[in-house]
Structure 1
Amino acid sequence: MTETRQHIIDTGRRLAAQRGYTAVGLSELLAEAGVPKGSFYHYFKSKEAFGCALLEGFVEGYGADLGQTLYAPDLPARDRLMAYFARWRANQTGGAPEARCLVVKLSAEIADLSPGMRDILDRGVSEIISRLARAVRDGAEDGSLPRHAEPDRIATALYQIWLGASLMAALSHDATPFDSAEATTARLLDHHH
């Protein structure tokens, strides 16, 4: 992968995280990245192909970050899960738009816009949920969590709670929805099902 291609993707990611995908025009992206149109089409056959590359990169990077948080071998699984959600909150409320989750920012917008982009995000979300479920199972093994009959259902519910909290926090410009998400997460994890 060349530096120019990565630079275009990084620039697009920052702009999309701030304003959404459709709001970022090609000419604005190229001006911001400082590359000519010919360069763009050398690396991407269309804006949608660029969008797919952007999301592939996000999902891959997110997966690597998630791995570091959820598979920290020195911490009990419950602590790893709570650290993962604390980091989610920090990213969504921090001052750096490029740290924000593109699933939160773009999923509603691209669901009807691009099947290719939707599929990438959908696969990314499924992967996140399966990693959360694995951590719930690990918690039963290491004794930090009760043994849950349906770890996948718990993981899905947690993801949905945090996705909803992120959208509500963005609407209200206030972090209160995350307080409720954290409390609900602890209750769901610690409760015998």
Structure 2
Amino acid sequence: MTSTAPSDVRQHILDVALPLLLRKGFTAVGLTEVLTAAQVPKGSFYHYFGSKEAFGEAVLETYFAGYLARMDLLLSQPGTAAQRLSGYFDDWLDSQTGDEASSRCPVVKLGAEVSDLSESMRAALERGTRCITERLARCIDAGRADGSLSAPADSRAAAVTLYQNWLGASLLAKIARDRAPLDTAMAGTRQLLGLTQNV
């Protein structure tokens, strides 16, 4: 890794860290474990991150950047807004029912833990989740405009409700090791947005 550009090494550390954090949690993963997995000398960590807290914030920001890029892709597909929203929630359901820990949602895994530990990490989570609900609200507005959704007039409140329902369902599915809560969230989403089963 020593011949790699510093920005690439930093990104490599973040990429290696996220699956570890999703499996074990933030406090249970030591820096030595992350750096060993990344094959980066331990002494170089503070060249890239000022503290473990700053590292955690960077992990979350990197996750949300990737997540929002994928969300933008899903919500810009051809078709009606209803079809795009259905595709987004289908993707969520698929990602939360896979066998790999890396497919899980860091907001579900780390949200409660790090929000009590770190104000900067809590703020990173808040910024990221706000960006998600803003995108959902815009797509709901587009669905009302194109006639494909019979959603509530307050698209922001609807978006927050949907996101909260899916986060809760993802947590319950994790606890129960059963996808039923996610299927319930999907049914509730279709009801709230006025989606038909064949969208």
What TM-score results when the alignment is normalised by the length of structure 2?
0.92
- 3-state SS of paired residue (1:2): helix
Aligned residue number for residue 115 of structure 2: 111
Cα distance, 1:84 vs structure 2? 0.8
Q: Residue 57 of structure 1 corresponds to which residue in structure 2?
A: 62
Q: Any conservation in 1 of the 2:95–2:103 contact (CA below 8 Å)? A: yes
The answer to whether residue 175 in structure 2 is matched with residue 157 in structure 1 is: no
Confirm or deny that 1:11 pairs with 2:16.
yes
Percent identity over the alignment is: 49
1:72-115 Cα offsets, whole Å, 9 max, x none, are: 2x121111111111111111111222222211111111111000
**2:124 is aligned with 1:120:** yes
Q: Deviation of residue 65 (structure 1)? A: 0.6
Aligned residue among 144, 156, 172 for 1:168: 172
Aligned 1:129-148 pairs, distance under 5 A: 129-146=133-150, 148=152
Could you list the per-position Cα deviations for residues 17-71 of structure 1 after superposition, in whole angstroms to 9, with x for gaps in the alignment? 1121111111111111111111211111111111111111111111111100112
**TM-score normalized by structure 1?**
0.94
CA shift, 1:147, in A, is 5.3
Q: Deviations over 1:125-180 (max 9, x none)?
A: 11100110111110011111125311111111100100000000000001010110
Q: How does 1:78-89 map to 2 (within 5 A)?
A: 78-89=82-93
Number of aligned residue pairs: 190
Superposition RMSD on alpha carbons, in Å?
1.3
Alignment match, 2:3: none
Match of 2:46 among 38, 41, 45: 41
Are positions 1:20 and 2:37 aligned together?
A: no
Which 4+ stretches in 1 moved above 4 angstroms? none
Query: Which residue of structure 2 aligns with residue 178 of structure 1?
Result: 182
Q: Which segments of 5 or more consecutive residues in structure 1 lack a partner in the other structure?
A: none
- For 2:106, give the aligned amino acid: L
Return the alpha-carbon distance in structure 2 between the equivalents of residues 155 and 147 of structure 1.
Answer: 10
The amino acid of 1:3's aligned partner reads D
